[in-house]
Amino acid sequence: MGNRDTVHFSTAGLADIEAIRADFPILRREVYGKPLVYFDNAATTQKPQVVIDALTGYYQTMNANVHRGVHLLSQEATSAFEKAREKLALFVNARSVREMVFTRGCTESINLVAATWGQQNLRPGDEILISALEHHSNIVPWQMLCEHSGARLIVCPLHADGSLNMEEFARLLNTHTRLVAISHISNSLGTINPVKEITRMAHKTGAKVLIDGAQALAHLVVDVQDMDCDFYTFSAHKIYGPMGIGGLYGKEELLLEMPPYQGGGEMIANVTFEHTSYNEPPFKFEAGTPNVAGALAFGVAIDYIQKLGIQNIAKRENQLLDYATQVLKSIPGVVIIGNAEHKASVISFLIDEIHPYDAGTIIDHFGIAVRTGTHCTQPLMDSLGITGTIRASFAFYNTFAEIDLLAKAINKAKEMFL
Amino acid sequence: MKIEEKTQAIVNEFANFDDWMDKYNYLIELGKSLPLIEERHKTENNLIPGCQSRVWLHADFDGEIVHFTADSDAVITKGIANLLIRTFSDQRPQEILDSSANFLSEIGLTEHLSPTRSNGMLSMLKQIKMYALAFKAKQQMGQS
């Protein structure tokens, strides 16, 4: 495999995009005989060879069940697994590894909080406050919780530009609000929400705060202590790691109080048929054999990102987003959906009266992967009065030339449908 | 015309096009010339579920022959609906049930065949077959 990865890490991060792109084997692919232009990073990101190698390498050299064995292989696997947890905890600036629970991903993390903290704490008359731009994964678990507990779901509206209406947010926060659940970055509009301010305001009225970080971890610095949020959720596959693994950050004092999520091996301290006692956090919330390979590969993805530097990544992605915004705005008939002052990575748009599905089909044939539809944010689309958008979402390995090709495809779609 | 003859005709038409753009331009033309569904039939009940675009399918039965009309707010979907209606409309229920729509892969539209939420292709087919089944049952019960 070689050490070509270190060659371009040592200089100013993202100077050599071609070398970086060479790290991602899938970017060499063709679709319909044309080079793949991957603009669907908000759905899932592509993986550098080192992350792919970590998955297979684990099974080749280190595979054993964790936390249980005395034999060397088991110790190695356990040590590597816990090292990955430590990396993750450091990456988001958690106070300790006890605050970092491995889950299957962001959706499971949110469901975990709803099923444990939520069930334990919510009563009839309590309120859960979310925003109108939430992904279904940060809506449905709360709806389910409200049905069980008798609590009410309250939705904070947006401004026309897709930013959160903070005046309304302040007005909707009240002494009945027990939880605020908001995304850090909107997957449909790219809006970056003021999560630190939201947390401060929520805490003042006595509410806890869960931030859905699915879209954020890859695009900006996440510091859970600085934010002071109570829970922060994320998925590895959105940050160049594998699918099937993610995390839940929770403040230790909360995790200690919460009942367990799933029952089984690993999460127990002692088991008899009469009574079972539970392990401490984070293990209390990790029943069964974990996705050890996934956790290790997640750690490797974080190493990769840190070598490039999140600040460098953010800078490049902002350049791409600015360029795309400029290019798209210059095409007559193209309307950008979501024009908040602070955005990251995502540009959603419509082309005249052309149905997104029609446009997406043509764009697809140019080798460009964009996403069309509601992006798992049906309520948001309803509130905007549209059936869906075309969404391009960028990562640092995308290029300006690729954006030019998107413009070409859009013009072709206009030609064909108008 | 029998269903197999109709599908062969469609395959022949599309064989004229090598280029994906030409194929889609033709599909778009077909979409624009789709015999339209009557406004009063564009109801919630006639909406095919699970599609990114909205697709309405309406069926009439005179005791022998099923007649389909359809519409969609996405032009490519309309084009595909045109092909399906050309094939399956004005046929007997049993003939509809007995045939498949293999020609879709033969004309290179497989990207519209995937059972994702994105497209109404498979859903339309399913709905057409369900209508045929229902009308066949009606026939057998001696109603019209």
Residue entry with tokens 């005709």: B9
Q: How many CB atoms lie within 10 A of CB A222?
A: 22
pLDDT of residue B89: 93
Cβ of A364 within 8 Å of Cβ of B74? The answer is no
Cβ of A372 within 8 Å of Cβ of B118? The answer is yes
Contacts of B53 in chain A (CB under 8 A): 355, 357-358, 387
Are A191 and A342 a contacting pair, CB within 8 Å? yes
Q: CA nearest A356 in B: which residue?
A: B74
Q: Which residues contact A38 (CB under 8 A, 6 or more apart)?
A: A26, A27, A46, A369, A395, A397, A398
Write the DSSP string, A287-309: -SS--HHHHHHHHHHHHHHHHH-
Strands A37-38 and A34-35: unpaired
Tell me how far the alpha carbon of residue A409 is from its chain's centroid. Answer: 28
Position A5 pLDDT exceeds 50: no
ipTM of the complex: 0.86
Q: Of A281, A293, A261, which is closest to residue A110 (Cα–Cα)?
A: A261
Counting DSSP H helices and E strands in chain B, the numbers are 6, 2
pLDDT of residue B132: 95
pLDDT of residue A67: 87
Kindly report, residue by residue over A72-121, the tens digit of the pLDDT.
Answer: 999 999 999 999 999 999 999 999 999 999 999 999 999 999 999 999 99
Contacts of A364 in chain B (CB under 8 A): 111
* pLDDT, mean of residues A329-343: 97
Contacts of A373 in chain B (CB under 8 A): 52, 117-118
Write the DSSP string, A80-122: HHHHHHHHHHHHTT-S-GGGEEEES-HHHHHHHHIIIIIHHH-
pLDDT of residue A40: 98
Q: Which long-range contacts (CB under 8 A, 24 or more apart) does A171-176 make?
A: A172/A129, A173/A129, A173/A201, A173/A202, A173/A205, A173/A207, A174/A127, A174/A205, A175/A205, A175/A206, A176/A125, A176/A126, A176/A127
B3-139 fold: Sufe protein. Chain: A (3.90.1010)
pLDDT of residue B11: 86
Tell me how far the alpha carbon of residue A156 is from its chain's centroid. Answer: 21
pTM (two decimals): 0.92
Name the residue ranges covered by the structural domains of chain B: 3-139
Q: CA separation (Å) from B52 to A206, A356, B56?
A: 41, 9, 13
Q: Which residues contact A134 (CB under 8 A, 6 or more apart)?
A: A181, A182, A183, A212, A377, A379, A380
Domains of chain A: 4-49+309-417 (3.90.1150.10), 53-306 (3.40.640.10)
- Host H or E run for residue B98: helix B93-98
Residue entry with tokens 């799933």: A262
Helix (H, G, I), strand (E, B) or coil at A223: coil
The sign of the CA dihedral A405, A407, A408, A412 is positive
For residue A26, give how far its alpha carbon lies from the nearest alpha carbon of chain B (Å).
20
Strands (E), A301-369: 334-337, 346-351, 368-369
pLDDT of residue A9: 39
* Type of residue found at A185: I
* Type of residue found at A359: A
pLDDT of residue A8: 38
Q: Which long-range contacts (CB under 8 A, 24 or more apart) does A326-331 make?
A: A327/A403, A327/A404, A327/A406, A327/A407, A328/A406, A328/A407, A328/A410, A331/A407, A331/A410, A331/A411, A331/A414
Kindly report, residue by residue over B63-111, the tens digit of the pLDDT.
Answer: 999 999 999 888 988 998 898 898 999 999 999 999 876 667 776 676 6
Start-to-end CA distance of chain A, whole Å, equals 50
At residue A336 the predicted structure's pLDDT band, cuts being 50, 70 and 90, is: very high
At residue A12 the predicted structure's pLDDT band, cuts being 50, 70 and 90, is: very low
Give the span between the Cα atoms of A361 and A363, in whole angstroms.
Answer: 6
Q: Is A388 on the interface with B (CB under 8 A)?
A: yes
* Type of residue found at A187: N
Catalytic residues of B: 51
Q: Of A124, A126, A128, A102, which is closest to residue A114 (Cα–Cα)?
A: A128
Q: Would you call the peptide bond into A282 cis, given omega within 30 degrees of 0 as the criterion?
A: yes
Helix (H, G, I), strand (E, B) or coil at A152: strand
pLDDT of residue A389: 96
Give the span between the Cα atoms of A319 and A57, in whole angstroms.
Answer: 36
pLDDT of residue A1: 36
Q: CA separation (Å) from A128 to A142, A186, A197?
A: 7, 19, 18
Tell me the two tokens of residue A310: 């999140």
Helix (H, G, I), strand (E, B) or coil at B7: helix
At residue A48 the predicted structure's pLDDT band, cuts being 50, 70 and 90, is: very high
Mean pLDDT, rounded, of chain A: 94
Cβ of A387 within 8 Å of Cβ of B73? The answer is yes
For residue B26, give how far its alpha carbon lies from the nearest alpha carbon of chain A (Å).
10
For residue A350, give how far its alpha carbon lies from the nearest alpha carbon of chain B (Å).
13
Q: CA nearest B20 in A: which residue?
A: A365
Kindly report, residue by residue over A247-287, the tens digit of the pLDDT.
Answer: 999 999 999 999 999 999 889 888 998 899 899 999 999 99
Between A169-183, A216-230, B97-111, the lowest mean confidence (pLDDT) is in B97-111
Catalytic residues of A: 376
Q: CA separation (Å) from A101 to A161, A287, A374?
A: 35, 11, 30
Cβ of B28 within 8 Å of Cβ of A416? The answer is yes
A/B interface, count of CB pairs below 8 Å: 45
Position B114 pLDDT exceeds 60: no
Position B30 pLDDT exceeds 50: yes
